[in-house]
């Protein structure tokens, strides 16, 4: 709390604690500001004795209010909570029971730079987070290519810790918004049930306890090793975490929450990724099914793990997230039953009869309104499962065989009888 804020609080307290003395006089003795008071000797003493007593009581209230405000930050010098902030700079804020910062420490050199540029001790937590976010944005630690903050809270009282957990999320989100910064805040409660394992992970890789806790949450469900994850930035870690299909489950646990999305702007992006793999597979996007792309790490490089189905083939790719180079490719026969299909009846993997008809009409250059005697039938007896399309238009009969991935396998056109 700076001097200006302190002066404002004192002024407010004084104004609230002490009513205007003239109003008090007018109420007690019937005279107001500007009136002339004439009293006999006998009345003067008794009248003013009561007024002076009242004013003395008001002054005591003022003194007590001012003393309380001045000593507000020192009301409890005991550290009861900590909030660790990590982007690349690592900062730990130690708080008293009023969430006033008693101590601000840096865990690395970048953190020291932020501490030197901010005066965090004595600030209320919300003001401290405002200052930290503003400084990190200004210094470029938070940017459009790396926009994620990891905040880890700890308090031995689980109820108070939960309250702090939500307060930190609200304050961090508001602080980013006030900087007009499209950021991502990840807030977690430090694990107690796995404390030994997490601490060991932190020590093995010389990383913060908060980062170790975050990695421990999901590292078993990704291909990357502990060592590879430990070397990543908070932003890249959260890109991988967001890719984990279980991440919503973790959010529901009440031990981690987040707002916004981590930036992937330093990588090729989903549109370019699709262009690369679909071209390699000679696949049309509109006929691709079960597409999925997740971030992971391979040999220290951020990669996209991609899989999709086209026709009767399942494709799996590993693509360098920066260069777009295809690092691995695998294909195998696609079996619908492996992916939860419940019907035993012959089914097309992708397109419907209506889709197949549209493809045939476009190929023939015929408008739908000009076609008659339309028929569409699934042919599952042929080695290549397809849809047989027949229609008549302009005095001709048309026959098409459309594969389930949309390819035209055969076409025939002859004069109508």
pTM score above 0.85? no
**Apex CA 100: angle with CA 94 and CA 106, to 5°?**
35
321 and 222, same domain (yes or no): no
Nearest-CA neighbor of 335 among 307, 356, 314, 357?
314
pLDDT at 245: 54
306 and 325, same domain (yes or no): yes
pLDDT at 384: 59
- Which segments of 74-192 does DSSP mark as H helices, in order? 109-117, 125-138, 158-178
- How many domains does the chain contain in total? 4
pLDDT at 243: 82
248 and 176, same domain (yes or no): yes
103 and 225, same domain (yes or no): yes
pLDDT per residue rounded down to tens, the chain (417 residues): 444 444 434 443 443 334 444 444 454 445 454 555 554 554 444 454 454 455 455 444 444 444 444 344 445 789 999 999 999 999 999 999 999 999 999 989 999 999 999 999 999 999 999 999 999 999 999 999 999 999 999 999 989 999 999 999 999 999 999 999 999 999 999 866 688 889 999 999 999 999 999 998 888 778 888 899 999 999 999 999 888 755 666 665 678 888 889 999 999 999 999 999 999 999 998 889 889 999 999 988 999 999 999 988 999 999 999 999 999 999 998 876 554 443 333 344 457 778 888 899 988 899 888 899 888 887 765 555 688 899 999 889 999 988 877 778 888 888 887
- Answer for the pair 185, 260: CB distance below 8 angstroms, yes or no: yes
Distance of CA 197 to the CA centre of its chain: 26
93 and 201, same domain (yes or no): yes
325 and 212, same domain (yes or no): no
| Domain annotation covers residue 347 | no
Whichever domain contains 383, its CATH number is: 3.10.450
153 and 56, same domain (yes or no): no
pLDDT at 190: 85
Q: Write the DSSP string, 205-244.
A: HT--HHHHHHHHHHGGGSSS-HHHHHTS-HHHHHHHHHHS
Residue 159 is part of which domain span? 81-259
235 and 378, same domain (yes or no): no
228 and 286, same domain (yes or no): no
């Amino acid at each position: 709390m700076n001097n200006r804020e302190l002066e404002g609080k004192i002024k407010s307290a004084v104004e609230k604690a002490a009513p205007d003395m003239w109003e008090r006089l007018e109420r007690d003795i019937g005279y107001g500001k500007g009136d002339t008071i004439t009293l006999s000797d006998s009345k003067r003493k008794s009248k003013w004795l009561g007024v002076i007593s009242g004013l003395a009581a008001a002054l005591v209230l003022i003194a007590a209010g001012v003393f309380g405000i001045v000593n507000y930050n020192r009301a409890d010098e005991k550290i009861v909570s900590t909030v660790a902030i990590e982007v690349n700079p690592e900062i730990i804020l130690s708080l008293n029971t009023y969430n006033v910062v008693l101590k601000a420490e840096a865990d690395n050199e970048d953190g020291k730079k932020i501490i030197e540029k901010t005066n965090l001790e004595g600030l209320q937590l919300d003001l401290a987070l405002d200052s930290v976010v503003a400084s990190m944005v200004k210094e470029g630690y938070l940017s459009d290519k790396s926009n994620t903050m990891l905040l880890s809270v700890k308090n031995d009282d689980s109820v108070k810790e939960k309250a702090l957990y939500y307060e930190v999320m609200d304050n961090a989100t508001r602080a980013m918004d006030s900087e007009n910064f499209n950021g991502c805040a990840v807030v977690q409660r430090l694990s107690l049930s796995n404390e030994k394992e997490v601490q060991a992970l932190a020590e093995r890789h010389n990383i913060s306890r908060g980062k170790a806790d975050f990695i421990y949450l999901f590292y078993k469900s990704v291909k990357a090793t502990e060592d590879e994850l430990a070397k990543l930035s908070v932003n890249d870690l959260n890109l991988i975490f967001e890719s984990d299909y279980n991440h919503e489950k973790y959010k529901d646990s009440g031990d981690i929450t987040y707002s916004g999305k981590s930036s992937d702007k330093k990588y090729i992006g989903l549109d370019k990724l699709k262009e690369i793999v679909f071209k390699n597979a000679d696949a049309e996007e509109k006929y691709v099914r079960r597409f999925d792309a997740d971030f992971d790490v391979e040999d220290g490089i951020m990669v996209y793990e991609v899989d999709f189905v086209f026709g009767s083939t399942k494709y799996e790719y590993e693509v360098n997230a920066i260069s777009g180079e295809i690092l691995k490719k695998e294909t195998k026969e696609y079996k619908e039953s492996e992916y939860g299909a419940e019907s035993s009846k012959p089914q097309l993997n992708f397109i419907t009869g209506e889709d197949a008809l549209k493809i045939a009409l476009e190929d023939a250059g015929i408008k739908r309104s000009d076609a008659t005697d339309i028929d569409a039938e699934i042919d599952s007896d042929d080695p290549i499962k397809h849809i047989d399309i027949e229609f008549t238009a302009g005095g001709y009969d048309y026959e098409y065989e459309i594969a389930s991935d949309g390819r035209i396998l055969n076409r025939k056109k002859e004069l109508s009888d």
